[in-house]
Homo-oligomer: A and B are copies of this chain.
């Protein structure tokens, strides 16, 4: 690995590369401001802006070739669509109604007009499906094909709060909407086999290439959160092992991962690798599922609002995690980190 030229400005053996945590800590230290114009919660994936008149949820996401997708097995249309799905899923996770998005498009030399057109057509179809409108953006030459999307949306009803993290209390129910582990099996199969993988792992490949955007589900829970402020919700795009601690903000959980919670292709792949299916389920990322918590009394209402919600377990008073009764180290399960993972593996 060649060092970056700016390392010479700060030479010496101790010029450590920056990790994701370093970056976030630096950003929080250097940008401590609060605004008189809006209240914001910056720790979540989505900034919630309470303007003097109405509020907006806003989120930015990169989707880059060889970091987030491979041109080898994504069609251009799939890449364009997934760039938007991944960004809009942050709005789904706060129960927002998508309004608009701004597109930062990075174009490498030599990309054909036809590939670009297919890519944008895939994005446009997804935008129609999500009822989100392109407002503008920026085009730039770049070293790879890439997208940086900023999306924003409104609350489901005037004055309704956006469900967020960190509201869970001991004894609350933990739930999952969508699948966990499937997209990771798809990623690994696609990396190994290319599009040949589609016939052997159809559900997994579909989960990686075209993840569902759970807008209706997030909005249904946001409506419920008007009556039940302790309901919390977030996007599980980095996998439960990384995202559960973020959701719980210090609390632990007794997880109950029934075999029925684990997709069949995940169980099959775990058998082939000789590992526990729960490990793939918990470590897998990029499923864009939703995880959340609510008080026990609210769980029947949550199930009624979102029949696809499935119980994952209960929030503990301490910060320990157990899975089906056995102690569990979530840190030991590799989640997704764009900084730690090799190219294409996140």
Query: Would B60 and A113 count as touching, CB distance under 8 A?
Result: no
Task: Give the interface segment out of A19-27, A166-174, A207-215, A282-290.
Answer: A19-27
A332 interfacial contact with B, CB 8 Å: no
A198 interfacial contact with B, CB 8 Å: no
Indicate which residue in B18, B113, B138 contacts A17 across the interface (CB closer than 8 Å). Answer: B113
With a CB–CB cut-off of 8 A, which chain B residues contact A325?
Answer: none
Asked, given contacts A54-B53, A150-B60, whether A135 binds B104 with beta carbons under 8 Å apart, the answer is no
Most B CB within 10 A of own CB, among A23, A31, A64, A145: A31
A154 interfacial contact with B, CB 8 Å: yes
With a CB–CB cut-off of 8 A, which chain B residues contact A338?
Answer: 139-141
With a CB–CB cut-off of 8 A, which chain B residues contact A120?
Answer: 26-27, 30-31
Indicate which residue in B33, B99, B144 contacts A143 across the interface (CB closer than 8 Å). Answer: B144
Query: Would A76 and B9 count as touching, CB distance under 8 A?
Result: yes
Closest beta carbon of chain B to A21's beta carbon, Å: 10
A323 interfacial contact with B, CB 8 Å: no
Asked, given contacts A4-B110, A135-B47, whether A37 binds B143 with beta carbons under 8 Å apart, the answer is no
A133 interfacial contact with B, CB 8 Å: yes
Closest beta carbon of chain B to A166's beta carbon, Å: 16
Residue of B nearest to A47 (CB): B135
With a CB–CB cut-off of 8 A, which chain B residues contact A191?
Answer: none
* Interface range for A: 35 or more
A111 interfacial contact with B, CB 8 Å: yes
Query: Would A72 and B109 count as touching, CB distance under 8 A?
Result: no
A272 interfacial contact with B, CB 8 Å: no
Query: Would A148 and B62 count as touching, CB distance under 8 A?
Result: yes
Indicate which residue in B58, B111, B133, B346 contacts A135 across the interface (CB closer than 8 Å). Answer: B58
Indicate which residue in B37, B53, B67, B154 contacts A99 across the interface (CB closer than 8 Å). Answer: B37
Most B CB within 10 A of own CB, among A35, A38, A144: A35
Query: Would A112 and B71 count as touching, CB distance under 8 A?
Result: no
Residue of B nearest to A46 (CB): B136
Indicate which residue in B113, B148, B346 contacts A18 across the interface (CB closer than 8 Å). Answer: B113
Instruction: List residues 119-144 of chain A with CB under 8 A from any CB of chain B.
Output: 120-121, 123-124, 127-128, 133-144
Asked, given contacts A37-B154, A40-B135, whether A116 binds B9 with beta carbons under 8 Å apart, the answer is no
Query: Would B71 and A114 count as touching, CB distance under 8 A?
Result: no
Closest beta carbon of chain B to A88's beta carbon, Å: 14
Residue of B nearest to A33 (CB): B133
Query: Would B54 and A111 count as touching, CB distance under 8 A?
Result: no
Given contacts A60-B103, A107-B339, A150-B150, 17 further A-B contacts (CB under 8 A): A4-B108, A4-B111, A7-B112, A15-B114, A23-B107, A26-B116, A26-B117, A31-B127, A33-B128, A35-B133, A42-B134, A49-B100, A51-B51, A59-B138, A60-B150, A68-B140, A148-B148
A–B pairs, 24, beta carbons within 8 Å: A3-B110, A6-B76, A6-B111, A9-B114, A10-B118, A15-B112, A17-B109, A17-B110, A17-B113, A18-B112, A18-B113, A26-B116, A27-B120, A31-B120, A37-B154, A53-B53, A59-B102, A60-B104, A60-B136, A66-B143, A104-B104, A142-B144, A143-B143, A143-B144
- The 5 A-B residue pairs with the shortest CB-CB distance, nearest first, are A53-B53, A47-B135, A148-B148, A10-B114, A6-B115
